[in-house]
Structure 1
């Protein structure tokens, strides 16, 4: 670990601030323009922050959906991610969406689909990406054709999906908050693994094996569902990488913690070199 990374870790432990907050404080880049609080829809949380490479205003856009158990989280804590992928040559739109209890499933998925539709309006290549509950939401936009069809588009209009520690299969639901978020009468529709038959855009699925928040089995099941239907998927599993580390490792200061950055950028670069084939 670099001296700066060690100092950041110490500051987080001593101050109680979040890892992402500490990372954001040192994550600006002269290579990346930042435009905050753009609107993709009419609601207060229909907002996104856009990170764009200064030398490529038309770069492909990675639309990132944050995690937070469908009831927490914010785009504001992912400057480090926008900077990292911006420096790699990709624009990044980090979106907010409505949370529980304001909405239940599928309201937050409909928000993500609306954001993707908005970004596609400019004719740009759009890749969906999410972490944890955000990967669940983004994967449904990529895999279940009904969300984009409701907006007059196809799920295959997006060029790919990248999932970090995604929740793709989590039934049965225990009584409590998650049961309130996912209505029982449509709960089967909330499971991305049920939509692996496709056709789907290409997928990169990453997961830490010791993850106890969302088990790596979710990614194994999702990859198998996609693969068995002939949909393009690459799945990677990391030894010794936890639920938060897998996304934090996108920061330049913590890349030694997990190969997330290398796997994501290599996958994106390969898709770009091939002309963004959809596989659909």
Structure 2
């Protein structure tokens, strides 16, 4: 997909790679049309809290997104993603953005355990969230897309908190996700994902059986951080197994630009927000696209 960019937009996008970039972007998103409930605790410990973005006038059973940010499984903060919460709230979604434990405090599968606990908390606390008392949508970027995919494809993590995938998740969208990234070359990643013999179980692609909720996998052709082949391979595996997977690829879009395009000032970079919204609306809560028993 081709797009034209104005120089100020490019400058703003590249600013996201700096420490102050998220603050700059968040300062430019609209502050009306939603309200934020901060630091809701879904578990013990300082990183097991979430922020909730509630659209103004949200119905008691509004559709709900849980968004997992990236950061290489070793960094990140929900405070940096106001622009994501606002973007989805503007489309009518109650949006939860949890923090989760990261390296070196956490190694696989601790961040998956936190993510599952956050999903379970959102589903169990509809009185606070105004969310629908049913399954939620998952969205993730980069390492967060890996987390979202693992919750979607492997029932282990939601089962540990008393949930089942097909009861908890309607559909999932992954942006620039690492789904098939062995062998590991980084010493940090080797430490995060454990012994070589156990690493295949850390890969979303190895948990595909064709029964999981529908997935939308989005990439940019200019992404050199997480190669687009991760999404292509996962989508092919899902479809070949009888499941539902759609792909979107945006010409010339890089790793940071992809998530940045969710922000109001940068919507023209790529239609990620529109594509996610359309995909989710084609798979409404109460639909029957998920064929698994787990």
1:7 to 1:236, Cα distance in 2 relative to 1, 3 A: closer
Q: Distance in 1 between matches of 2:279 and 2:13?
A: 33
Aligned ranges for residues 23-172 of structure 1 at < 5 Å? Answer: 23-56=25-58, 57-121=60-124, 122=126, 123-157=133-167, 158-172=169-183
Q: How far did 1:205 drift?
A: 0.7
Query: Aligned ranges for residues 160-199 of structure 1 at < 5 Å?
Result: 160-184=171-195, 185-199=197-211
1:275 deviation in Å? 4.2
Structure 2 distance, partners of 1:2, 1:218, is 27
* Contact in 1 for aligned 2:171/2:213 (Cα 8 Å): yes
Contact 1:207 1:238 (8 Å CA) reproduced? yes
- Per-residue deviation at 1:279? 2.1
**What TM-score comes out, normalization by structure 2 length?**
0.88
RMSD of Structure 2 on Structure 1 (CA):
2.3
Question: Could you tell me how far 1:257 is from its partner in structure 2?
Answer: 0.8
2: CA distance between counterparts of 1:54 and 1:241? 32
The offset of 1:175, in angstroms, is 4.7
2:274 aligns with 262
- The runs of at least 4 consecutive aligned structure 1 residues that moved more than 6 Å come to none
- Say which is worse superposed, 242-251 or 52-61, in terms of deviation: 52-61
- TM superposition shift of 1:143: 0.6
Equivalent position of 1:200 in the other structure = 212
SS at match of 1:71: coil
Contact 1:219 1:235 in 2 (8 A): yes
Deviates more, 1:27-36 or 1:102-111: 27-36
Q: 1:276 to 1:55 in 2, by over 3 A?
A: farther
SS in 2 for 1:151: coil
Q: CA deviation at 1:198?
A: 4.0
Instruction: Work out the CA distance in 2 between the residues paired with 1:142 and 1:11.
Output: 30
Distance change in 2, residues 1:8/1:229 (3 Å): closer
Change (3 A) 1:82 1:175: closer
- Distance 1:17-1:44 versus aligned 2 partners, 3 A rule: closer
Q: Partners of 1:28 and 1:35 in 2: how far apart?
A: 16
Asked if structure 2 preserves the Cα contact closer than 8 Å seen for 1:62 and 1:127, the reply is yes
Partner of 2:253: 241
Higher relative contact order (CA 8 A, sep 6+): 2
Deviation at 1:16, TM superposition (A): 5.0
In structure 2, distance between residues paired with 1:106 and 1:259: 32
User: Per the alignment, do residues 100 and 90 of structure 1 end up closer, same or farther by CA in structure 2, a change over 3 Å counting?
Assistant: same
Moved more, 261-270 or 235-244: 261-270
Q: How does 1:264-279 map to 2 (within 5 A)?
A: 264-272=276-284, 275-279=286-290
Runs (5+) with no aligned partner, structure 2: 127-132
Q: CA deviation at 1:271?
A: 2.0
Residue 19 (1) aligns with residue 31 (2) = no
What is the CA distance between 1:25 and its match in structure 2?
1.0
